Structure 1
């Protein structure tokens, strides 16, 4: 991380989706020696920006910063007979990005200027997901060489500790290597801006009515 940039990694929700709903893709992958995520990407490519108006709120294990709600749970909103599995898969990708956009907006509200984003982790192998992120955030998104972010962070701090680098910014410049860049599509951004407003409205509505607390109480007692 350096001035004007942030690094984000994709979350475990995509793994949950694969393991829960994609037995067929996993089986095909075993036969073809292809990664199941690559097969899912091909399905996602059949769906369009906005997933036909399907919204996924990815709070499967509470909502972290900036909402900080331990009782928040996942939501699939707008589902209709018109939606396909490809739409749901794309909505999962988009929903995870909307959650990260929440974090970005909170930092901006706090006065932190972010001009560029770097994304890391296994999810960056998906070109379609990388582009979705650029479109949702409305900023250039860069991929970086390593997927072992924790190890990289330790190595950077060790380099500072032994005097190789003077600070975290110098360590980042020398140890974080950019491998690709995705520019936001302005038309897609308009769709995602609208989807984010719906995301916020759905979350606020559920929270204000106390439905998250009620569903967690039910989950804990059945």
Structure 2
């Protein structure tokens, strides 16, 4: 999770629940049944953070530099790879 936060430069929040989709369905059902007046109310009542992974901005810069290098190399290799992937016998 830390790697994702570093690469994207965004904080990642991990929830206490493992089945986030089921929790979302339960919240929607609660809103539909009138248990919660609005979606935000259901979220506040039922979604609990376990922890938060803040991005390491020094690592983000490193990943951005490496990705730029990768894109340059990938574009240089495009024609060679197209040739390489042609069938040997046609």
* TM-score normalised per structure 2: 0.67
Specify the alignment match of 1:137 in structure 2.
8
Instruction: Give SS of 1:136's match.
Output: helix
Q: Which structure carries more relative contact order (alpha carbon 8 Å, separation 6+)? A: 2
* RMSD of equivalent CA atoms: 2.9
Distance 1:164 1:203 in 2: 53
- Residue 26 of structure 2 is matched in structure 1 by 155
The count of corresponding residues between Structure 1 and Structure 2 is 81
Distance, in Å, in 1 between the alignment partners of 2:16 and 2:53 is 15
Instruction: Give the ranges of 4+ consecutive aligned residues of structure 1 lying more than 3 Å apart after TM superposition.
Output: 195-207
Give the equivalent residue in structure 1 for 2:46: 175
Relative distance call for 1:191 and 1:157 in structure 2 (3 A) is same
Structure 2 distance, partners of 1:147, 1:206, is 41
Q: Which residue does the alignment assign to 2:64? A: 193
Distance 1:185 1:166 in 2: 38
TM-score, L = length of structure 1: 0.31
Q: Report the structure, 1 or 2, having the larger helix content.
A: 2
Please give the secondary structure, in 1, of the residue aligned with 2:44: helix
- In 2, Cα distance between equivalents of 1:165 and 1:204: 52
Q: Is the aligned partner of 1:184 residue 2:48?
A: no
Aligned ranges for residues 40-59 of structure 1 at < 5 Å? none
Larger Rg: 2
The answer for unaligned runs of 5 or more in structure 2 is: none
